Amino acid sequence: MTEMHDYIVVGGGPGGCPVANRLSVDGRTTVCLLEAGGDNKHATVRVPLLLIANVPKKNGFNWAFDTVPQKGLNGRIGYQPRGKGMGGSSAINALVYMRGHPGDYDEWEAMGCPGWGYRDVLPLFRKSEHNEVFRDAFHGQGGELNVAALRTDNRYHKLLTDMLRQAGLRETDPNGAEQEGYSVAQVMQKNGERCSSANAFIEPIQATRKNLTVHLNTQATRIVFEGKRAVGVEVVQQGQARTIRARKEVILAAGALQTPQLLQLSGVGRAADLKPLGIPIVHDLPEVGYQLSDHPDFILGYQIPDADGLLGLSPKGLFGLWGQWGRYKREQRGMFTSNFAEINGFMRLTPRSPRPEVQYEFVVGLAIDHARKLEPRHGLSCHILCLRPKSRGSVKLQSARWQDAPLIDPNFLDHPDDVREMVEGAKRVDRIVKGSREIGPRIKKDLFTADCRSDADWEAVIRARADTNYHPVGTCRMGTDDRAVVDARSLKVNGLQGLRVSDASVMPAITGGNTTAPTVLISEKCAEFVLAEARASASPVHAAAMVS
């Protein structure tokens, strides 16, 4: 017999887990969460520092996509790690809890997304959050997603914050009233362990909610349509293909790279792209996969011959780590709780800028090239991100086969303003580091920018080294205009029935910060839309039960 549920959610990341939780809360509505990967209970997922084992390579936790050659990066092929398994990318990411600037959400509203302004979304951020540190009007207590202070306390951590203070910068809560300034990362951790979207929203309810089915190692390969209505999903599970039916809706949460891929494989996308691949068109929706936006990232690197407090693979550093492992097991504190990007900051490039244009993330080690090459030296690095890139790219199919990775083109540094902001941001942070009495005198070697004199030198080194900060969004843009992929008032796919999108792909503009918290917000909002509609269509008796 064909398996059937009220709702099918495709993807167990920050876009999928919250909505699966909220829709199954009444104990009766049946929800099926499909995840291509496994349960992700492995130590390399739970222990924050061990993300270093998963990010650099393709394995059971990481899809590890490549981009197409990037014109703006001298033709280089970029790397796009994406989490696989429960928690999605929040199972391998750097754990930074960052919502973006309040003005980002007001911008969404102004772009034609009513109900997405900051005053609308703040209560939803608070709803899903349990913040162990901040108890004020900006933060929530009692929500599922645990946000904690970093439990690492190495010497460089303090030297870096001293350096930023001496440079005249202010320590802020970037999720509070003022984003500009610096902060020690607020991390999605609980008791020193990662708190992924699955740890937060699914694990605690999985044993008791019999109406929630989680199918692991189950990849959706096509959405099944009857006419223009989505009625189920074809999946491959342990090598076997079968169909799972949805009585009410299919909700896509496969992330900004794989949600458009699944739509396109199912005949929803730009007809001119799909027809040559032999894919029958269900609905011509030209922007599916287009409007890809991602934060370009350039890493400053400084060699510092000091194994005390800095991550690195020297014999002394490894010996130190061994001691730290013992400490982690005893106290769940210390280096193994590090998220790498320990200190974050935001800067405006002109006093007139309404929002910071640049984010910087200091790492107490040399994790260069996504840590794909082992780095034996000790040192500090700092990621520089252009927060609102104007370049737009795309995600397209290379074939009609679901097994083939999508063609990912972030089109990094296509727009000259993106380059200008990266250059300016990198120069300023470099000046702070080298001019500081805390860090400057300890630097043995500036690894990448020692020879930069002019802006052209900086641009050359940035184009030669930059890549992603792992925040692809926008490939199923929401809005209320004709070309939008999903309707901002419902997250329903335009022109189709029974189909919504609940993940980072709906963002109409990238947020100025890391993208997990905004994706959890989108998922909360999706649940609100679905539940409000279900209430409206339910009988009065049933509706009362759903509210209570």
Ligand X SMILES: Cc1cc2nc3c(=O)[nH]c(=O)nc-3n(C[C@H](O)[C@H](O)[C@H](O)COP(=O)(O)OP(=O)(O)OC[C@H]3O[C@@H](n4cnc5c(N)ncnc54)[C@H](O)[C@@H]3O)c2cc1C
- As measured in angstroms, the least distance from the Cβ of 377 to ligand X is 22
Q: Are 503 and 87 in contact (CB under 8 A)?
A: no
For β-strands 499-501 and 240-252, DSSP reports them as parallel
Q: Judged by CB, which is closer to ligand X: 253, or 279?
A: 253
Strands 283-284 and 379-386: unpaired
Min. distance of Cβ 253 from ligand X in angstroms? 5
Q: Is 76 exposed, middle or buried (0-12, 13-18, 19+ CB in 10 A)?
A: middle
490 φ, ψ to 5°? -150, -15
Residue 241 DSSP SS3: strand
Q: Which is nearer to ligand X, 10 or 300 (CB)?
A: 10
CB of 150 to ligand X, least distance (A): 12
CB of 214 to ligand X, least distance (A): 11
Candidate list 130, 139, 370, 471, residue with the active-site label: 471
Q: Closest CB to ligand X among 303 and 516?
A: 516
> Which residues lie near ligand X (CB under 6 A)?
10-16, 34-37, 55, 81-85, 88-90, 92-96, 98, 219-220, 253-256, 258, 262, 470-471, 503-504, 514-517, 519
Sequence-ordered strand ranges (E) for 171-287: 181-184, 186-187, 189-190, 193-194, 212-215, 218-226, 229-237, 240-252, 268-269, 283-284
Element at 197 (helix H, strand E): helix 197-201
Output 11 or 174, the one with its CB closest to ligand X: 11
139 an active-site residue?
Answer: no
Residue 385: count other Cβ atoms within 10 Å of its Cβ.
28
Query: Pairing relation of β-strands 129-131 and 145-149?
Result: parallel
**């990341």: which residue's tokens?**
13
State which residue, 98 or 491, has the beta carbon closest to ligand X: 98
In the complex, the smallest distance separating the C-beta of residue 338 from ligand X, rounded to whole angstroms, is 12
Pick 391 or 515: Cβ nearer ligand X = 515
Cα 294–chain centre separation = 10
Which residue's CB is nearer to ligand X, number 41 or number 420? 41
- Three-state DSSP class for 249? strand
The structure tokens 């405006």 sit at: 348
Which stretches of 387-526 are assigned E, i.e. beta strand?
393-396, 407-409, 445-446, 467-468, 478-479, 486-487, 499-501
* Beta carbon nearer to ligand X, 124 or 423: 124
Report helix angle 102-110 to 118-128, nearest 10. 130
In whole angstroms, the minimum distance from the beta carbon of 324 to ligand X comes to 21
Q: Which residues contact 3 (CB under 8 A, 6 or more apart)?
A: 32, 242, 244, 245
Least Å distance, CB 190 to ligand X, is 16
CB of 449 to ligand X, least distance (A): 23
Per-residue tokens: 505: 């792909």
How many CA within 13 A on the CB side of residue 31? 28
CA atoms within 13 A on the CB side of 507: 34
Which amino acids are annotated catalytic? Answer: 471
